[in-house]
Chain A
Amino acid sequence: SAVISQKPSRDICQRGTSLTIQCQVDSQVTMMFWYRQQPGQSLTLIATANQGSEATYESGFVIDKFPISRPNLTFSTLTVSNMSPEDSSIYLCSVESPGTDTQYFGPGTRLTVL
């Protein structure tokens, strides 16, 4: 299984600012995923990030609000832009273990927007 780390683990931010979340994996992976988990809710996929190409966003999520970078096969960032209190959530990155269909998750970033 992949070991995934995220930074920061939590943050409290002011309305209108932006936060960049980092995701680091201990092995090279083709696909990385970013999810949002609102308090007490299930996981919602924000986007899929391939190395070397533009991220693919799910319905309801746009690149201007959630820009993603994927500079290499072990790292990705998600930026939450122009934040509002409604963006308060846990943001999770995950990777798919090659050839297994299994996704492994990072520990999450707990974001609170005031």
Chain B
Amino acid sequence: QQQVKQSPQSLIVQKGGISIINCAYENTAFDYFPWYQQFPGKGPALLIAIRPDVSEKKEGRFTISFNKSAKQFSLHIMDSQPGDSATYFCAASGRGYQKVTFGIGTKLQVIP
């Protein structure tokens, strides 16, 4: 049973465009929602994270939008660059040493 559904699985965006990756969760006990960025041959690196008490969090070109009632959250990458080409994983966990559940991943390619 996939508790965090992520889409799309692959995404091609032109340089300067907006990349949007969506995730939906089922477990209402989740209260921490990180996004990870993984380059080939590397471990996942934390990109940005949000808790349900806010609807949006922005860090540079990266923004998380969170809709608690719909149990959905999304990552927006503004002004996408070729260097953003990587696999992105959304994730969810409960408070305090709870198992992290990962989405299936989105392979993003930003073309010049």
Measured CB to CB, the residues of A under 8 A from B are: 1, 4, 30-31, 41-43, 45, 48, 92, 94, 96, 101-108, 110
Whether B102 pairs with A102 at a CB distance below 8 angstroms is no
Question: With a CB–CB cut-off of 8 A, which chain A residues contact B103?
Answer: 42
A-B contact pairs, 23 of them (CB 8 A): A1-B46, A30-B97, A41-B105, A42-B103, A42-B104, A42-B105, A45-B99, A48-B99, A96-B97, A101-B96, A102-B32, A102-B34, A102-B46, A103-B34, A104-B46, A105-B36, A105-B45, A107-B42, A107-B43, A108-B41, A108-B42, A108-B43, A110-B41
Q: Nearest-CB distance from A38 to chain B (Å)?
A: 12
Q: In whole angstroms, how far apart are the Cα atoms of A101 and B95 in the complex?
A: 7
Asked if B86 is at the interface of the complex by the 8 Å CB criterion, the answer is no
Residues of B within 8 A of A92 (CB): 43-44
Tell me which residues across on chain A come within 8 A of B100, comparing CB atoms: 45, 103
Most buried by B among A42, A92, A104, A105: A42
Best-buried of B44, B46, B103 by chain A (most CB within 10 Å): B44
Tell me how many residue pairs across A and B have CB atoms closer than 8 Å: 45
Q: How far is the CB of B90 from chain A (nearest CB, A)?
A: 10
State the B residues within 8 Å of A (CB).
32, 34, 36, 41-46, 49, 89, 93, 95-100, 102-105
Closest to B97 in A: A31
Among A4, A43, A105, A108, chain B packs the most CB atoms within 10 A around the CB of: A43
CA distance A87 to B96 in the complex (A): 31
Q: Which residues from B are CB-within-8-Å of A1?
A: 46
**Complex CA–CA separation, A92 to B105 (angstroms):** 16
Besides A43-B44, A105-B44, A110-B41, 14 other A-B contacts (C-beta < 8 A): A1-B46, A30-B97, A45-B100, A94-B43, A101-B32, A101-B93, A101-B95, A101-B96, A102-B32, A103-B34, A103-B100, A105-B36, A106-B43, A108-B43
